[in-house]
Amino acid sequence: MPPPFIINDLVNEVILRCENRTTDTARAAIWIRDALLEIASNPDYRDDFQELEEWGPAYNLTANIAEYTESLILPVGDISNALLDILIWVDYPANLNRRKLDISHYQKTDRFQPTYSIPTEWYRFGGLIGFNPVPNLAYKVQARLCKQHPINDATLNQTTILLPRDWNEILVMAAVQRGFIELMEYEKATMIHQQLYGDPDNKGQPGLIYHAKRKRRKESWRMESRLTMVRRPYGWGT
């Protein structure tokens, strides 16, 4: 397995594409950092980076308590971009069978008198995670989440890039775009933006990010689908 890339591995390429402005080497690492955080946090690409998906700790709810501090359910030390799912073990206390809870909203929950049973929904309010119905037993729950890309704040250049290597070109171009914006060369920045995201006036050119398919999309063609009969309209072919 090849060694992981770090931000410093891409700095020279960013400087070269920013018209070889060697005086901006320190800024180039910041441009790469900001591009990395933006792309990794974009909900449109959330399903592309399983490298940023992780489990939270298993946690036992308390009977008759509906809401819990988020930090009890999320991993310590990571910043969560989004909770993807919360799973609950339905066969307390054996905890052998689990299912996914539906996502809800606190306003919906507050409209009804509380009931006490196995939860079927979860919701967020501030720094709390709530469950509806209110758990009547100490059911075990566990979260799936998408974490923010970790950054080495002490030595930015040494930050390991968790995104797959085929996203390096996209990261470089996104960093160069930021460089030209900072240098107030907006026309060049606009051209790079179109290369990344596509030309809005030309739907046939969707851009580099569209073509950077990841494992889930590469594997989706393997999904089986039932064949359906094709019915031609009356008079077809005449």
Each residue of 166-195: pLDDT tens digit? 899 999 999 999 999 999 999 999 999 999
Residue 102 tokens, joined: 């539906």
Within-domain flag for 131: yes
Contact 52, 40 (CB under 8 A): yes
Residue 72 sits in which domain range? 52-147
Nearest to 51, CA basis, from 160, 209, 173, 174: 160
Within-domain flag for 85: yes
How confident is residue 229, by pLDDT bands cut at 50, 70 and 90? low
Q: Distance (Å, rounded) from C-alpha 235 to C-alpha 238?
A: 6
Within-domain flag for 127: yes
Q: Distance (Å, rounded) from C-alpha 18 to C-alpha 137?
A: 60
Give me the pLDDT at residue 171, please. Answer: 95
What is the count of structural domains for the chain?
1
The alpha helices in the chain, defined as continuous H runs, are 8-17, 25-41, 106-109, 168-182, 186-197, 208-211, 215-219
**Cβ contacts of 166 within 8 Å, gap of 6 or more:** 212
